Structure 1
């Protein structure tokens, strides 16, 4: 069974910015956590949520870097967190839980892309660990705070790259197969979409709804592990090292890249929705496995049975 993916004609689109989609929305009294909230589209997400009145907690491995990046923005707090370190995730969640605050918005924005083969301290493949497992652990540990919000939303950053690979339940950490960094990235982003499907199923009875997001093509620090030669081989750069002219219309600004995240986190039109994959500030269309265009969500990223299976497997990874 797959999730229902029906666009709702939100009134926004590809060119909409985070400021556009949050206009008129007051988040005063709301608490939000934005992982990776001090760089790229994460920083824009933090800025816009805080501008609307939310108190935004930005966890970071490098607190000095985070403070400098967001200097002067009101309603922002900082805390130490390394998603690759289970003890760090638990410590962060424990501090938030002891505060007694409700958590209205959890934005799982942090991530890595196309890294060389590496593993975390528990032996899990790094891209899957950073993009999915660490965030899974964080959401589970913060569940009581999400329940206290009496209407929380969790937004997980996926990617159009999910179309390159379904989740490999047999060998997710590349212990048997040759490592392919792009397949590993795609698998991790499929996992992120499935995480949102199952979290929504489990959480909606407690008022917790979840969404996964394809932000679009944006030039950020996420691409730091990708060389110019790699980009040229993929056709994303020409001989001069520039984005080919025929592709420029496919790229978004940082403000546009954060828009779908902010829309999913705050839009009143999504009050009774959840468990869906979104792009361009709308629920994405369901497409078939052979779909060639870089839009829509493929069956393996919206498969409810696979989502449940991944959740159960992820629970073993965080014990």
Structure 2
């Protein structure tokens, strides 16, 4: 288990925005890759990092839509990437590596939530494949560029409080034997995001690569596109007019507030000597067994992280050399 999962007591709270937590941070000359960085939380993350001076590379499934979304946002580059297509991951990584540029920050923001059952070309369950396995293969492929970062690189994986739903079923991660449950699948993938950050940090810290997982908060956006209006209403996420409820103290956030912890993990000097931790509300989260906050111990357990790494290697054929 991570022995650094202790809140730092930052000055930021749940209402802080991405711009606020990065005030006075200069990212000029830094290159950041943000998957899914053209909509929702990812778009706000891209916008703020560009505002700080970073060059932001955004791999997405729909290039034309991304280019339209970036109108008025400088220093962005768009590439095609489909996380459930291993060939697409390899093509993007190969094209990027050919540019001989280093990656200072890799933000694994893209994801899906509570989808009907679908599978990637290898038969892996779709949420696990999109949220974890695709990002696993991408990070491994881009590892040489992360190693080249002059001041050390950071990897930020978007998990969520959804990891409270369950851990990983090592015997049947792809729902081949058990009935498919969209929320169990989502919870498993979010636990995987947290454990993946811990495993990346273990492998990268000796070379200056640190990793973090993030709960952005509950934000009504593109991630909820597979939920019915009844399901969304059951979470108390919409007011009587059908507009998203914004109440950061109860974890209901807008995009600017939801992107804050990702940007904080990518930029804060407070994390220079810390890695492998799960963060929320722009701080390291506390370990919690039952209450609806913080991180469950199983999601930052280093032994579980190593088991997931081995499983991921077996399922993707990718590994750090």
Q: Aligned pair 1:189/2:190, yes or no? A: yes
Residue 223 in 1 paired to residue 224 in 2? yes
Matched ranges for 1:285-300 at <5 A: 285-288=286-289, 291-292=290-291, 294-300=292-298
Question: Do the aligned partners of residues 86 and 244 (structure 1) sit closer, same or farther apart at CA in structure 2, a change above 3 Å counting?
Answer: closer
SS in 2 for 1:59: strand
Local SS of the residue matching 1:211: strand
Q: Equivalents in 1 of 2:87, 2:46: separation in Å?
A: 25
Q: CA deviation at 1:232?
A: 3.8
- Aligned partner of 1:76 in structure 2 is 76
1:25 is matched with which residue? 25
- Please state how far the C-alpha of 1:2 moved relative to its aligned partner: 4.1
- Whether the 8 Å contact between 1:37 and 1:58 is mirrored in structure 2 is yes
Aligned residues: 316
Q: Helix, strand or coil: the match of 1:149? A: coil
5+ residue gaps, structure 2: none
Q: Which residue does 2:67 correspond to in 1?
A: 67
1:110-149 correspondence runs (5 A): 110-149=110-149
C-alpha displacement at 1:238, in angstroms? Answer: 7.7
| Cα separation, 1, equivalents of 2:239 and 2:52 | 40
Per-residue CA shift, 1:122-147, capped at 9, x if unaligned?
Answer: 10000000000000000000000000
**How big is the shift at 1:309?**
0.6
User: 2:228 & 2:112 partners in 1: Cα distance?
Assistant: 15
CA distance in 1, matches of 2:3, 2:299: 9
Instruction: Please name the residue that 2:266 is paired with.
Output: 265
Root-mean-square deviation over aligned CA pairs: 1.8
Matches within 5 A, 1:229-268: 229-233=230-234, 236=237, 249-268=250-269
Corresponding residue of 1:46: 46
Cα separation, 2, equivalents of 1:38 and 1:311: 28
**1:287, distance to aligned residue in structure 2 (A):** 1.1
1:234 Cα shift?
Answer: 5.2
Q: Which residue of 1 aligns with 2:172?
A: 171
**Whole-Å separation in 1 of the counterparts to 2:58 and 2:247:** 37
Give the corresponding residue for 1:208.
209
Query: Displacement, 1:92?
Result: 0.6
Task: Output the CA distance in 2 between the equivalents of 1:165 and 1:238.
Answer: 29
Equivalent in the alignment of 2:301: 303
2:161: which partner in 1? 160
Structure 1: distance between partners of 2:246 and 2:269: 37
Q: Deviations over 1:35-94 (max 9, x none)?
A: 010000100000010111110001111110000011121111111111111011001111
Q: What SS does the corresponding residue of 2:155 show, helix, strand or coil?
A: strand
Moved more, 73-82 or 227-236: 227-236
Counterparts of 2:247 and 2:75, CA distance in 1:
41
User: SS at the partner of 1:79?
Assistant: strand
Q: Which residue of 1 aligns with 2:314?
A: 316
Asked if the contact 2:115/2:127 (under 8 Å) is kept, the reply is: yes
- 1:225 is paired with a residue whose SS is coil
For 2:245 and 2:66, the matched residues in 1 are separated by: 33
CA separation of 1:248/1:277 partners in 2, compared to 1, >3 Å: closer, same or farther? closer
Taking a change above 3 Å as real, the CA distance of residues 281 and 305 of structure 1, as seen in their structure-2 partners, is same
Structure 1 residue aligned with 2:90 = 90
